[in-house]
Amino acid sequence: MPLIRLREFLDSHNVKYVVISHSLAYTAQGVAALAHIPGKELAKTVVVKIDGTLAMAVVPASYQVDLARLKAAAGAETVELASERDFKDRFPDCETGAMPPFGNLYGMDVYADETLAQDKEIAFNAGSHWELVRMAWDDVERLVKPRIIKLAVGRIAATAA
């Protein structure tokens, strides 16, 4: 029941959202294709370690996290991708790799790429590999309070600059 915790949180804050069910998919790009959502509008959550502390880096599905930019923005000594072993127990209500970008529900800071704030809506995994939530970016920003920075690199990030 991965969606229960997120749904209760959103409902308690009177947030309007839509749950989108899709066939099983494990990659953000695969989910975007199945749900007919452009990769730039589907956010993926990447768990990182910033000076040994777990945090979330949220970028569009078609981008990658620029660890050097994150390190500079966080003023950190070290930033690295976290392994599943590092974070698996932190998300007991989520399937591995399908965590929603709500670090506030898991005691984690959230860094979001600035391109996500350019769209009115955002879609993201809702704790499983077969459900998405689509909601207003303004509500995500209000509830999660992510640090919005230039964080993404990749094929689309290079052409969007």
Asked if the model's pLDDT at residue 50 lies above 90, the reply is yes
Q: How confident is the model at residue 22 (pLDDT cuts 50, 70, 90)?
A: confident
Q: For residue range 104-160, list pLDDT tens digits in order.
A: 999 999 999 999 999 899 999 888 888 899 999 999 999 999 999 999 998 644 444
First and final CA of the chain: distance in angstroms? 39
Q: Is residue 54 scored above 90 in pLDDT? A: yes
pTM: 0.87
Average pLDDT, the chain: 87
Sequence spans of domains, the chain: 3-160
Torsion on CA atoms 5, 11, 16, 18, rounded to nearest 10: 40
CATH number of this structure's domain 3-160, picked from the four choices 3.90.960.10, 3.10.129.10, 3.30.930.10, 3.30.1330.120: 3.90.960.10
Contact residues for 104 (Cβ-Cβ < 8 A; gap 6+)? 110, 143, 144, 145
Contact present, 156 and 39 (Cβ < 8 Å): yes
113 close to 153: Cβ distance less than 8 angstroms = no
- What average pLDDT score do residues 77-106 get? 93
Alpha helix stretches (DSSP H) within 89-152: 137-144
